[in-house]
Amino acid sequence: MYFGNHRLNAEWSIHSEVQHRNSTVAPNNLEQLLLRTGVNYHFASGNTLTAGYGHITNYALESAQDGPETTEHRIWQQFLRAHRLGRLKLEHRARTEQRFIHSDFKTRYRYRLMGFWPLKAESIGPGVSYLGLYNEIFVNPTNTPWDRNRLFACVGYQASAQLNFQMGVLHQAIHSANGWNGSWYAQIGVFLNTPWQTD
């Protein structure tokens, strides 16, 4: 996974994101390719509003089809609130999605609570390792509201003010007519935040 936040000035920035999700460890067995971008508005202290677009293609393992099984165009809006409780950094993320999947339209709501705990330091900064943990719920405005739940744990390293790495495991439980079905995933993430410059 790659996540970028590129500052234009004190209030505005551009979000960029690429997630290459595999069905197996081998990188050629693509399950999903997610490309997402957006415009961020930063206000107050630790508050960010975002609006953006995502393009998602889904593939089936060992499919005879040359291209993706489904292609999704997604409009999304998000509110992110970050704050601290002592050494613990907390992030609350609420997101809405309007999903166009071929001729089908779906709306989905998501909420994620994530915590970051620095190791051998009072706060996360350059040269500091940390632990991360989040849970995210996905709900639909339908008669079957539960969509999925994601639980994630990682070890991270803040290499510099701009560059951050994470390695962790994610458990995703998907709700269907037969109940909940879960799968485990390994995740590697790179985060790049470029600052804005004043004259």
- Please report, for the chain, the start and end positions of each structural domain, with discontinuous segments joined by +: 2-194
Per the model's pLDDT, the better-predicted residue between 57 and 63 turns out to be: 57
d(CA 74, CA 97): 7
Specify the pLDDT at position 128. Answer: 98
- Chain centroid to CA 162: how far? 18
Residue 121 pLDDT exceeds 80: yes
Cα angle at 171 between 86 and 123, to 5 degrees?
Answer: 20
**pTM higher than 0.85 for the full model?**
yes
Specify the pLDDT at position 199. Answer: 45
20-24, 74-78, 133-137, 191-195: least confident range: 20-24
**How large is the average pLDDT for residues 165-183?**
93
59-68, 130-139, 157-166, 178-187: least confident range: 59-68
Residue 103 pLDDT exceeds 80: yes
d(CA 199, CA 196): 10
Mean pLDDT of the chain: 93
**How large is the average pLDDT for residues 164-190?**
94
- Residue 137's nearest CA partner among 106, 101, 172 is 172
